[in-house]
Amino acid sequence: MADPIPPRATFPPGFLFGAATAAYQVEGTRFGGCGPSHWDTFAATPGNVVRAEDGATACDHYHRWPEDLDLAARAHMDAWRFSTNWSRVMPDGMTVNPEGLDFYDRLVDGMLVRGLKPFLTLYHWDLPATLADLGGWRNRDTCARFADFAEIVTRRIGDRIAATATINEPWCVAWLSHFLGAHAPGLRDIRAAARAMHHILLAHGMAMERLRGLGQRDLGIVLNFDRAVPASDAPADLDAAARQDAIFNRWFIEAITKGAYPAEALEGLAPHLPQGWQNDMTVIRQPLDWLGVNYYTRHIHAAAPGPWPATREVEGPLPKTQMGWEIHPEGLEHFLTRLARDHVGNLPVYVTENGMALAEPLDDSTRTAFVAAHLRATQRAIAAGANVQGFFYWSMLDNYEWAEGYEKRFGLVHVDFETLARTPKASYHALAQALAHN
């Protein structure tokens, strides 16, 4: 029998529980006048995505959102995290599609009717193809276009939003996509990566300024963290892990909270950053109202020959998810306490994503144990002084898992991608029981 999920009553009063989704992964881009994004282009290129699958239909959340929100309400959830598809709202990145805004209007009202607090993420990776043609996140102008998009969305639905995040996982937007080439636009270019690493933060800062000017409150950003563990105590391996920690975990939070980039990352990226990048740090360093923390796993790093960053990953010994990621709940506790200590103090923090891919269709007791272990890690961080105010499981639905297509299943709810039928899994029922007021 799986470890029981800690009941709601064991968390602080007012602690929010919810599930997370992302527009491109669930909505279906062939509906409602949505324009093409660089993910459509990436998926159409042979070899990039499992079976060349894309988000054209996804889970058809565009039409089935009432059923999906009902599932959250029946699980006694308090909040629903969602994103707006830039290509749906502005198909060319600049011109408003009224049908797109109408959809998000209906969606937010649907959350409120069901007692779900809307947690909005403005950008979850779906860059309009027209802007990608102009260089995407390599192009500084994209930052201004993003601020325009943020304003358009906020003017329409901002009055009903509980919390707004500008960007989801800038490391994935920039490094994974421009240096490692694993996500759209699929580049492996250090100059492109350095510029994207900077411009995605500048876009965040410009949007924060714009939204504060509109009087919008409860503004934040969602960062992902991945524990960097040295393969040994050898100095070279310790340095390798420190470099990866600087690139993945410190670059974004230190820019936002300290107005500086870590030296271990600048060592490789500084020559490729835009000229005068230092002048942007004041804009990037906007005060946050809250921080979203996405956490899934750890990686073990060793020194490697070759150019910077001169590291390689070493396979770890822990049990792994369907993604091949080690199950390491202690890493979530590590980051929540580290962020409180080193970066954000008593700022409200939400675990905005945590979950596992699992091939088991409905009897997913392994997932139930995963959720239980990570919620207990969250409780330990709270006991140590971290101001964690909520936890969102990733994801409510099996969905389009980016370069993994529809093969990797993170959902509490099983989706049959032929019929689109939703079937709650055992983990869904276990979480619902834990969240019932008792």
Task: State the sign of the Cα–Cα–Cα–Cα dihedral 303, 304, 310, 315.
Answer: negative
Catalytic residue among 254, 326, 333, 353: 353
* Helix, strand, or coil (residue 128): strand
Angstrom distance (rounded) from CA 145 to CA 47: 31
| φ, ψ of residue 286 in degrees (nearest 5) | -85, 140
* Residue 356 near residue 321 (C-beta atoms within 8 A): yes
Annotation says 99 is catalytic: no
| Cα first-last separation, the chain | 22
Known active-site residue 67:
no
* Nearest-angstrom CA–CA distance, 411 and 358: 9
Taking alpha carbons only, the member of 84, 100, 216 closest to residue 163 is 216
Tokens for 394, please give them: 């990733």
Identify the active-site residue in 27, 53, 169, 333.
Answer: 169
The 3 state secondary structure assigned to 88-105 is HHCCCCCCCCHHHHHHHH
Tokens read off for 150 = 């943020």
- Residue pair 260/329 in contact (Cβ under 8 Å)? The answer is no
294 within 8 A of 354, measured Cβ to Cβ: yes
Distance from C-alpha of 137 to C-alpha of 48, rounded to nearest angstrom:
19
CA–CA distance, 195 with 169 (Å, rounded to integer): 16
For residue 353, give both structure tokens: 């994503």
Q: 311 - beta bridge partners?
A: 303
**Residue for token pair 């410190």:** 250
Measured distance CA(325)–CA(330) in Å, rounded: 14
Cβ neighbours of 345 (radius 10 Å):
12
- The residues pairing with 113 across neighbouring beta strands, listed in sequence order, are none
Considering only CA atoms, which of 208, 233, 206, 205 is closest in space to residue 218?
208
Whether residue 296 contacts residue 354, with contact meaning beta carbons closer than 8 Å, is answered with yes
Indicate which residues carry an active-site annotation: 169, 353
